[in-house]
């Protein structure tokens, strides 16, 4: 895509990062939280939260004309999103007392379809492109950026997970990723309409 710039995120990007990650109705974040609006609120707070794995400080964006069109969060495999007291309080504020129970159930179902980490791999945690700008090479450019960063840091393998229904799997395969494990769960499928998640890896040797 002409005029595309890949850069580190700044604090002012937080709401746009959350908007892109939260996605649309029917996509995993909105289903897990219970609504698109709720997902955007929760992700905005997580992106702004100091020390968060979802934080803007750890985010790379693809932008054109000053407008953020794609989001990448990638780095060492170490660390994963956990339900801390602070995050639980944040979720309670977003969903309310009645919604928090359903959210925790959906999060447990999501956790059951998360394949185990790949030790020593460079992990692509989040890769999202604005729906109106897909198919224009933005996702591929962000993957290329992540691979360059992984190689520069001396990694020999990259890893990511994606839902079994995500059409972006074809993009990952074109960039050399392959499915090594699939986890499914009937409760997760009942909530999301998707069987589960794939673990994909790419060797950098």
pLDDT tens for 133-149 read 999 999 999 999 999 99
43-52, 90-99, 114-123, 144-153: which has the highest mean pLDDT? 144-153
Nearest to 20 by CA among 94, 64, 72, 75: 72
pLDDT tens for 155-191 read 999 999 999 999 999 999 999 999 999 999 999 998 8
Domain ranges in the chain are 5-203
pLDDT tens for 33-61 read 777 787 788 788 788 887 777 889 999 99
Q: What global pTM score does this model have?
A: 0.85
pLDDT tens for 9-28 read 999 999 999 889 887 756 77
Beta carbons within 8 Å of 161's beta carbon, 6+ residues apart = 114, 115, 197, 198, 199, 200
E strands in the chain = 5-8, 59-64, 67-76, 122-129, 157-163, 178-184, 196-203
d(CA 110, CA 99): 17
Check if the beta carbon of residue 141 is closer than 8 Å to that of residue 6: yes
Q: Would you call 161 helix, strand, or coil by DSSP?
A: strand
Of 2-11, 104-113, 130-139, the one with minimum mean pLDDT is 104-113
What pLDDT does residue 129 have? 95
What pLDDT does residue 83 have? 56
Which residue carries 């892109």 as its tokens?
20
Better-predicted residue by pLDDT, 100 or 136? 136
Could you say which architecture CATH assigns to the domain 5-203?
A: 3-Layer(aba) Sandwich (3.40)
Check if the beta carbon of residue 14 is closer than 8 Å to that of residue 48: yes
Residue 202, pLDDT > 90, answer yes
């Amino acid at each position: 895509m002409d005029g595309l710039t890949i850069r580190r995120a700044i604090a002012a990007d937080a709401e746009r990062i959350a908007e892109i990650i939260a996605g649309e109705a029917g996509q995993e974040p909105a289903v897990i939280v219970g609504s698109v609006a709720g997902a955007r609120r929760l992700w905005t707070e997580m992106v702004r939260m100091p020390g968060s794995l979802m934080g803007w400080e750890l985010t790379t964006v693809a932008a054109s004309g000053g407008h953020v069109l794609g989001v990448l969060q990638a780095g060492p495999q170490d660390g994963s999103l956990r339900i801390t007291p602070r995050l639980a309080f944040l979720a309670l504020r977003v969903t309310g007392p009645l919604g928090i129970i359903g959210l925790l159930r959906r999060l447990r179902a999501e956790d059951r379809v998360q394949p185990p980490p790949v030790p020593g791999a460079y992990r692509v945690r989040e890769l999202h492109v604005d729906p109106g700008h897909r198919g224009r090479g933005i996702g591929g450019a962000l993957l290329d950026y992540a691979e360059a960063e992984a190689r520069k840091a001396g990694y020999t393998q990259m890893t990511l997970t994606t839902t079994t229904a995500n059409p972006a799997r074809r993009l990952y395969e074109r960039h050399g990723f392959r499915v090594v494990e699939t986890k499914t769960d009937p409760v997760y499928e009942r909530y999301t309409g998707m069987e589960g998640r794939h673990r994909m890896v790419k060797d950098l040797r």
